A and B are shown apart, each in its own frame.
Chain A
Amino acid sequence: MKTIEELHKIGEEKRKELELRVNTNLDIREKHILVCHGTGCTSSKSPEILNNFNKIIKKKKLTNVRAIMTGCFGICSKGPIVIIRPENTFYSMVTPDDCEEIIEKDIIKGERVERLLCKDVTGKMVERLNDLDFYKKQKRIALKNCGVINPEDIDEYLAFDGYKALEKVLKEMSQDDVIKEVTDSGLRGRGGAGFPTGKKWSFVKIEEAKQKYVVCNADEGDPGAFMDRSILEGDPHCVIESMIIAGYAVGANKGYIYVRAEYPIAVHRLEVAIKQAKSYGLLGKKIMGTDFNFDLEIRLGAGAFVCGEETALLESIEGKRGQPRLKPPYPAHSGLWGCPTLINNVETYANITRIILNGAKWYSSIGTETSKGTKVFALGGDVNNVGLVEVPMGTTLREIVFDIGGGIPNGRKFKAAQTGGPSGGCIPEEHLDTPIDYESLSNIDSMMGSGGLIVMDDSKCMVNIAKFYLEFTVSESCGKCTPCRIGTKRMLELLQKICEGKAKEEDLTNLKNLALGIKKASVCGLGQTAPNPVLSTMKYFEDEYKEHIIDKKCRAKECKELTQIVIDKEKCKGCDLCKKACPVSAISGEPGKVHEIDQSKCIKCRTCLQKCPFKAIG
């Protein structure tokens, strides 16, 4: 238990120690070695790297050097990432064996370890993290602390205005003041649908009930999305603080964070953070000496995409099968165990503390007319800089893919960007200049979604992509309503027919009618949006669908039944490289003579294509 004065003191003292994390021009002898501990870097051995640094620091008795774990820096494709502060030197793809050299050369001698410096897309050497083009158009609000603080140390959070928003709320603001501030900020739900957050809060506040709940939706099920995970891993206290504020504003004293069990690191950091917040008296009874009580518990999701739908999530928290409820009543009126319940997404909460501290006016000055603030995207797929980006609303897709993402690798061309995951659509090149906001994305048949942004190059078959998403929704449909349970299955069968070259032209009409019917008739958001990837690809890439049906051809060579990988007899020099590379021994031929692929054995893995120096295979 700590008093407000004690919290201030801890924060101020820690801040002095941590000034070098945010200020590159300090003339001091201290060094901090920051090692990314997000999921991506952790899976490529960053804990071992941290461990090695600590061992060497101890062995060499370096008193002015500390190695610390942080959350995600964003540029995951360059991981594991190590940053040296205060200089902000950026080392990429570090291995545990590199630690010695970094300490010897950089920390002790003050030189750069050049071979570990990152090269940007043009091949230019980049010394500092903020010199990367990747960061130039970004604005970090929700991710402000990610990569700066140690997420498992509440004192570091306090050093950067942690729990100051809560203090302001409890000391100076009424419930209505808080809701007004959130409403005026223009913040909208970051889970995908974009419902105005302030309005949602006011709906829960006006309910009269003995018990109300605050829930955080951290069931990030969209495959290829990792925004919420990175926030929880990099800055768990900011979500907790915002949930306490929400509890105060709507009159709830109990909260649940529903997080995917597939995110063990995020779960662990949340557990640590909740424990620390409790020990400082920031969760529990009489918070900051006021009469306000608030408690928080974690509930694990067990791998059901549908549980991202708010009412299905509530069922799951109650320990049941995660099947959505009919709406109305909405959760604000009747949610967890029939009590009024506020549900917001992780990223929505992550914005709250900044809105309270900096004001609604500041927040609403960022973004577009209808969509305020920033949005975090998980940029992935065929793009040079895979990672986590946060941009002001209104940034165009082109800026994200080409300026921040560094364009398409391997000299290929951009074909489509997919937003909104299995509920969204594929955006073709002609719409790349669309500014990102809720309205303009839905105008081009996609949606904001939670923030997955997958880039596809011209080697991808759009029918196959649509089929991929349908396979996902079919396996994730909860089975409650017929349009989704059976309708999506029939859609998938039609798509399979098309990909196998067995479809007729009328199947396209059937597919479209079925899709429109499912959108209208499904119970929950999963079913209502499941046809979107099909409808948007049918709209923008109709010629590809027709090619599959009429010409029995897949131009991207992804649909196996319509594709054969063959060796061009004219170009083959018999170098034998493809034969050696083939994992299924489908290629035969004497060295020096033309080789051949046995189609019955070939699994179309394309390994041979990459190996052939004469471009003879295609």
Chain B
Amino acid sequence: MENCMDKKVRKETKEILSKFKKSKDYLIMILEEVQSKFGYIPQVSQMEISEYLDIPVAEIYGVVTFYSRFTTKPKGKYNVSVCLGTACFVKGSKAILERAKQKLGLEEGETSKDGKFSLDSTRCVGACGLAPVFTINNEVYGKATVKKLDEVIDEYMKKD
């Protein structure tokens, strides 16, 4: 029996698919939409896409794992991402990443057990004028210091 979660994902994936022509070159565009809808690319979605575009699931999985924007694991409610682009690196973003790991008790790419936080590093968000930069979901925190990171994460810890 398919559980309700899978059913919902299947239905919503189909809705996304209906916007695209059945052409293989839309695969990455479709995956982008699926990722932004669910925050990751569920297996059920990959199977739906496979059927729709007539591509083996293995090939879709190959594409999903090739591109760093796509993930097969759900991210936390608050995704902390530290920029490791060159401009940020030169301004000391490694120390900020180290502190984020320590503070959240997570390694890069991990999500906390309660699903509240996840930690990532990213290559250049394009806000080099504000380096070093970290982001939490869509919020950008520029001219960051270890202390500022602490304060911001403490704020988020208090949230639900």
Contact = CB atoms under 8 A, between A and B. Distances in A.
Contacts of A301: 28, 67
A77 B126 CA distance: 12
Given A43-B140, A319-B26, A421-B86, A302 B123 contact: no
Nearest to B83: A223
B110 interface: no
A30 B89 CA distance: 44
Interface in B81-104: 84-92, 95-96, 98-99, 102
Contacts of B85: 223-224
Contacts of B130: 40, 43-44, 76-77, 79
Contacts of B90: 380-382, 454-456, 460, 465
User: Interface extent on A, as a size class?
Assistant: 35 or more
A321 interface: yes
B124 A224 contact: yes
Nearest to A454: B86
Of all A-B residue pairs in the complex, the 4 with the closest CB atoms, nearest first, are: A76-B129, A224-B86, A223-B85, A302-B67
Given A225-B124, A226-B128, A386-B131, A300 B28 contact: yes
B98 A468 contact: no
A261 B32 contact: yes
B74 interface: no
Contacts of B32: 261, 300, 302
A78 B86 CA distance: 20
Contacts of B146: 583, 603, 605, 607
Given A43-B125, A319-B26, A322-B66, 8 more contacts: A40-B129, A76-B128, A221-B123, A303-B70, A380-B86, A603-B98, A605-B96, A607-B145
A524 B32 CA distance: 26
A29 interface: no
A223 B84 contact: yes
A382 B84 CA distance: 15
A39 interface: yes
28 contacts: A43-B133, A76-B127, A76-B128, A76-B130, A77-B129, A77-B130, A223-B86, A224-B86, A224-B124, A224-B128, A226-B126, A262-B126, A301-B28, A302-B28, A302-B31, A304-B68, A305-B123, A319-B27, A380-B86, A381-B87, A381-B131, A382-B90, A454-B87, A478-B66, A605-B96, A605-B146, A606-B92, A607-B147
A99 interface: no
Contact of B69 (A302, A321, A421): A302
Contact of A39 (B27, B126, B150): B126
A584 B95 CA distance: 12
Given A302-B68, A581-B147, A39 B28 contact: no
B73 to A, nearest CB: 16
A476 B150 CA distance: 30
A452 interface: yes
A87 to B, nearest CB: 24
B1 interface: no
Contacts of B129: 40, 75-79, 380, 386-387
A581 B148 CA distance: 11
A326 to B, nearest CB: 19
Contacts of A300: 28-29, 32
A76 B126 CA distance: 11
A225 to B, nearest CB: 7
A380 B131 contact: yes
A604 B95 CA distance: 7
B42 interface: no
Interface of A: 39-40, 43-44, 75-79, 221-226, 229, 261-263, 299-305, 316-322, 378, 380-382, 386-387, 418, 421, 452, 454-456, 460, 465, 468, 472, 478, 581, 583-584, 603-607
Contacts of B14: none
B99 A583 contact: yes
Nearest to B135: A43
Interface in B101-140: 102, 122-131, 133, 140
B125 A452 contact: no
A497 B99 CA distance: 23
A583 B145 CA distance: 10
Contacts of A418: 86
Contacts of B140: 43-44
A157 B46 CA distance: 42
Contact of A262 (B70, B98, B125, B145): B125
A133 to B, nearest CB: 17
Contacts of B102: 584, 603
B87 A472 contact: no
Nearest to B126: A39
A381 B88 CA distance: 7
A223 B125 CA distance: 9
B95 A320 contact: no
A321 B128 CA distance: 29
A605 B67 contact: no
B155 interface: no
A583 B147 contact: yes
A261 B95 CA distance: 27
A468 B146 CA distance: 20
A387 B126 CA distance: 11
B25 interface: yes
Contact of A40 (B26, B84, B123, B128): B128
A192 to B, nearest CB: 15
A325 B123 CA distance: 25
A381 B86 contact: yes
B63 interface: yes
Given A79-B129, A221-B123, A583-B150, A318 B24 contact: yes
A378 B85 CA distance: 13
Contacts of A44: 130, 140, 142
Contacts of B29: 299-300
A472 B86 CA distance: 10
Contacts of A76: 127-130
Contacts of A221: 123
B63 A320 contact: yes
A602 to B, nearest CB: 11
A318 B63 CA distance: 11
Nearest to B149: A583
A321 B84 contact: no
Nearest to A226: B126
A452 B66 contact: no
Given A261-B69, A603-B98, A299 B126 contact: no
B99 A603 contact: yes
B128 A304 contact: no
Contacts of A606: 92, 95
B86 A303 contact: no
A263 B126 contact: yes
